[in-house]
Structure 1
Amino acid sequence: MVKQERAARTRKILVDAAALEFDRDGYEGTSLARISKAAGISSGAVTFHFAHKGALAGAILGQGRAAAREVLEKVAGDGADPLGATVRLTLELARLLESDVVVRAAARLAREQSRTLPGWYCVWLPTVRQWLAEAGAAGLLRPGVQSDVLATTVGYLLTGLELRIRARAFGPEEGAADGPAVEQLERIWRLVLRGVATDPPA
């Protein structure tokens, strides 16, 4: 039991250290040697737990997808209309990106390794597409607003926000006056909803 607990702690330290490195420099810009140094754990111990860099990336993506799925299930269970649920989901994902470096690293890895690793965006973007199609069918979108185009816009919003959060994480001066990411996204949504929603919030 003690060995298992120690191994679990070591894996967490490694995942957290790797997430910080991947978040800052991406998959290609990060080496196992740098992760080993950042974690304060020998290279031999790193490869004992994760045979190669791809295994660490896979662990981070797994955690990031699980966190996004948990948020998605919570929002889906709240009973909001599909347009409101879409807005709420993106705000919760923005909070995750800002507060959790593992999630942010997972989002970056998903973009960089999309051909070989299942992505972070694929957890929630299909549901956003479904919700916005339902919003259109329910008359919640103005005539002529294409739900699939709006869903693509949501994907771009979250990608842009991810990049902005990362820039601030490694250069705190930049964009500090903009406020937290979720507040930025709320302002953007108010603008978007005035253009696309039949009954936008005041």
Structure 2
Amino acid sequence: MAKQERAQKTREGLLRSAATQFDRDGYNGASLARISEAAQISMGALTFHFSTKADLADAVEEAGRAMVLDAVERIGARHPPSLGLAMELTLELTRLLQEQEVVRAAARLTRERPGRPEWSSAWLPELRRILNRLDKEGGLPATAPPDLMTALASCLVDGMDAALRRSGASPVARVDAVGELTRLWRLVLAGLRQDGDLAGLP
């Protein structure tokens, strides 16, 4: 194995181990020693790649953010904007939170480390864009302005993040957040349909 390939494999192993630790224990609860031990990589190798815990946390945040941005770009490229598209974005974000430790860790780290960009900054602007354009095209009822719908969608995603954290780290015990969010959206849609027959509703 080439030296560069070994270094990349070591870095990836450290990021996986760190994501697990940060997701479970938070920034303050995680330690470089435990991350090194779990990854079965020496402290010397760890500090060669990441000199401090903050550097390692930065890398985990960046990896989680990149995964989210990829999903946002993929979904946002679809046309035309609709409430169904906004729903799809929130469901994909929730799926990432449910299935990807690095995304959950990134979301937690941005809450626990002052001065870091909020996790929602990776996806909230696109959600707002979709809903604003939908509103301009008459796809939202007057009782559901885009700012209110953006706040609702953000609260739903944050609520699923909290539900996943409460249910614990075990995939078996973890709540089906995607299924739960789908049911919540059905309730929202049922209420919106009472306000009018709008083409923007899925």
Tell me, yes or no, whether TM beats 0.5.
yes
Please list, as runs of the form range in 1=range in 2, the aligned pairs for 1:185-200 lying within 5 A after superposition: 185-196=181-192, 198=196, 199=198, 200=201
Root-mean-square deviation (Å) = 1.9
Q: Does the 8 A contact of 2:15 with 2:59 survive in 1?
A: yes
Task: Determine if the alignment matches structure 1 residue 184 to structure 2 residue 180.
Answer: yes
Residue 172 of structure 1: how far off its partner (Å): 5.8
Q: Provide closer, same or farther for how the CA distance between residues 173 and 77 of structure 1 changes in structure 2, counting only shifts above 3 A.
A: closer
Superposition misfits of 4+ residues, deviation over 3 angstroms: 171-176, 196-201
When structure 1 is superposed on structure 2, of 1-10 and 49-58 the one drifting more is 1-10
Name the CA distance, whole Å, in 2 between partners of 1:80 and 1:24.
Answer: 39
Name the CA distance, whole Å, in 2 between partners of 1:49 and 1:174.
Answer: 34
Name the CA distance, whole Å, in 1 between partners of 2:118 and 2:14.
Answer: 21
Name the CA distance, whole Å, in 2 between partners of 1:185 and 1:83.
Answer: 14
Q: Does the 8 A contact of 2:91 with 2:181 survive in 1?
A: yes
When structure 1 is superposed on structure 2, of 92-101 and 12-21 the one drifting more is 92-101
Please list, as runs of the form range in 1=range in 2, the aligned pairs for 1:1-202 lying within 5 A after superposition: 2-113=2-113, 115-170=114-169, 180-196=176-192, 198=196, 199=198, 200-201=201-202
Q: Does the 8 A contact of 1:27 with 1:112 survive in 2?
A: yes
What TM-score results when the alignment is normalised by the length of structure 2? 0.89
Residue 175 of structure 1: how far off its partner (Å): 6.3
Structure 1 gaps, min length 5: none
Report the residue type matching 1:5 in the other structure.
Answer: E
When structure 1 is superposed on structure 2, of 115-124 and 1-10 the one drifting more is 115-124
Structure 2 gaps, min length 5: none
Report the residue type matching 2:50 in the other structure.
Answer: F
What TM-score results when the alignment is normalised by the length of structure 1? 0.89
Name the CA distance, whole Å, in 1 between partners of 2:37 and 2:97.
Answer: 25
